[in-house]
Amino acid sequence: AGEVERAFRVDGNSSRGYRFVREVVSRRRGRPVSEKVVRRLMRGLGLRVCYARRGRYSSYAGEIDAPAPNLLLRADGTHDFSAGRPNEAWVSDVTEFRLPDDGRKVYLSPVVDLFDGKPVGWAVGTSPDARLTESSLEMACATLGEGEAPVAHTDRGCHYRWPGWKAICGRHGLARSMSRKGTSPDNAACEGFFGNLKNEFFHGRDWSGWTAEAFMELLDGWMAAYSTVRLKAFREGGRTVYDTIDNRRRRLGLAA
């Protein structure tokens, strides 16, 4: 048992599984050791592998009020994340970024148009508070034309139940919509936006030495360029067309 525990902690890395432990013990003994014996001893010693998990920010604080209906939910249980025109349906959520040398986290709250994935509003900050989410919604609402009153779909986080968010929705005639409890696919469109953002902007880059302020400035610029510079694939007339979101809207006569 002592050999097994020493092998498990050989380099201070508790992500080592039983195969690694067996290999270390076998080499030290000079003969093969049974996997079953190693697994039994590890269970008895309470040695468990620690896996790194990709965290996801959550603002859920319980059912603090009656949730809005899920207006994007179809009868068959799937969701309609499409829109026939701009400002018909929006999705919003909050995601976080961790920098290696700054103890603060950075949070992004975008409002994404389901027509073509355009971020029509966003806010960046170091606190996931009401100011963050409400600022992004106010920015999005500034793009609305006369008579436009989109669905605003979110998860059940507390941000979207606070009086300020509700007041903005009411003032602009937005129809509030909420995911089902504990069902992250209900807001898959916004999760997909976050996935693209982090793959293209965040992951695979060395952020050593970056402060939260410098990072937020760069992220804000990336969000601004998302619709004007980044090429996206669209299906048009049975074929795939690559264009920026804003240029496509101009081609379709949906923007000046």
Per run of 10 residues, the mean pLDDT along the chain (length 256 residues) is 61 52 72 79 66 46 70 87 96 96 96 98 95 97 97 90 94 93 73 90 93 98 94 90 94 91
CB neighbours of 104 closer than 8 A, spacing ≥ 6?
126, 212
Supply the DSSP string of 170-212, one letter for each residue.
HHHT-EEEEPPTT-GGGGHHHHHHHHHHIIIIITTS--TT--H
3-state secondary structure of 68: coil
CATH 3.30.420.10 in the chain: give the residue spans.
89-217
CB crowding 63-76: b at 16 or more within 10 Å, else e: eeeebbebebbeee
pLDDT at 217: 98
Q: Which CATH superfamily is domain 89-217 in?
A: Ribonuclease H-like superfamily/Ribonuclease H (3.30.420.10)
Q: What is the pTM of this model?
A: 0.74
Rounded CA gap, 228 and 119, in Å? 11
Contact 179, 149 (CB under 8 A): no
Rounded CA gap, 146 and 148, in Å? 6
3-state secondary structure of 138: helix
CA 187 to chain centre: 10
Contact 223, 217 (CB under 8 A): no
